[in-house]
Structure 1
Amino acid sequence: MNLKSTAVLAAALLLPLLVQAQNVAIVNGKPVQKARVDMLLKQATRGGQQVTPELKKRAEDEVVMREIFTQEAEKRGIAASAAYKEQMELLRQTVLIRELFEDYKKKHPATEAEAKAEYDQVKAAQSGTEYHARHILVETEDEAKKLIADIKAGAKFEDLAKKSSKDTGSAENGGDLDFAKPDSYVPEFSAAMTKLKKGEMTDTPVKSQFGYHIIKLEDTREATFPSFEEVKPQLMQRVEQSRLQKYQDELKKSAKTDYKFAQQ
């Protein structure tokens, strides 16, 4: 056997092995390509999963089962049905739209400077003094006046809050509202609260749209905020999503259509 014949024979022997390496299995004579497994694993990593031997095996099982079921569906003529074609059109649109947005994000990535600007803006809005207050909320002014008198006579604020406050969210904790910025509350509440000193209580009921409040200030502190590096990934994502939303709005605005959207 000459050298050329040996090379041909070797190629003929290797070819089935190469084909086999590209396939996961053969189902009823039809190859199931390894590329399908790679596609599933790529989708898994997009979702934050790590590729492990177990995950890879499940992906292989999945593509082989899909091929078995697909062949049966084709045998029964389901691919020619109207219902199948309608769903395939919706699926086609879904995939195209997803890839459009992924392509846009890839070509218009958020920058660190944009994330820092977002950080500074949020930090400025969140800075300032936080107030740790308690309150008791009742229906009438007379109820509130009586409770104030009871507290001044020695009753515990927390006990009366548990018993009498109609704010069920804080009543069971003795009226505790934890630390919050003044703008977290309605204006009447904030105005009365910020005038108090640590340990003080409002002498008169504070009226708001919810009823009558008795407010006690437990403590104050300067608002804390995480460092830029701690929240950088979330801010980058926030900038990215904001930019994508703007892109979607621009496409909607530039499209020529007689359709009227519910929100223009």
Structure 2
Amino acid sequence: MFKLVRLSCRVYPIWSALGFTIMLAFTATAEDSSSIAYYSTSQFSVTEFDREMYLRNAPPEAGGGIGSRARNLSALSDLYAIKLLALEAKSLDLLSEAEKKWLIEYAISIELIERYLRKMVEDKLAATDWEAEAREQYIASPEDYRMPESVSLRTLLIRTEDRSESEAMRIAVDLLGQAKQPGSDFSKLVTEHTEDASAAVNGGLMSGIIRGQTVPPFDEAAFALRTPGEFSEPVVSQFGVHLIQLVEYSPAEQLTYEQVAQRIIKELKPIRAAQYRRGLQEEARERKLEGFVEHTEALDGLMSRTSDGALGRKFSIDPEF
């Protein structure tokens, strides 16, 4: 039994000129689940879909799926477009036999090179002494592993958009007096009186603020506080008048190597992978096989056939041109 599902696909840059709304027919039986049909006129196998995802560098299967739903739908749309356009283009005989042969050989070479580079990089990563690498990174840049000074606060805002600054200050001073009364709950005062909607939701709590994250007058007053529960005097900024209560003060701290070792290794691995890959590519460009001789005249002749030569003016990759 077939279940029809209509899916609107957003097509990604590779087929940016094409938009498709695809009608997919999925079977409910296992024996028919290996194919997907479009409009009952075109279909491809799950193997073709898997190959498409492979070419997109989709992550390996996890939990029975490949990539995200959006990525899968994009691949389905692209496969349909490829089949449709290839069918139309095939009848025009646009490639010579020599060009077809060259393209096949080139595609195989590129895939072999990619797999070779991937394996060589994986081998180099496996052989890397990550403990030594991480420790060297930590010693070279200790400032990168320093926790900055920070404060957690409760704040109450009286805006000056619809009142004068002096009127806002009078309200703030009165509320500050209430907040300093024994047994007063400042978070409750914030919820009842603040004119910052987001602060009203959580009692004005701002956690882990570091210097420079707030406007200068607020920043200066907040980082002058040291004792939890301490209040600043009312602070004026472009947003209005603020009351600030310190919840927690955390001085700057240099993290130990042991605290950050795994984080450093995690950050280094993709960096080293890219460096190893570039190194392999650069080494290949410079490597000269035994018996290599550079023929300057032949090279000059070849260059004359590129973008400013006859070949560059032809849309052809036929090696017999």
* Structure 1 length-normalised TM: 0.49
* Structure 2 length-normalised TM: 0.42
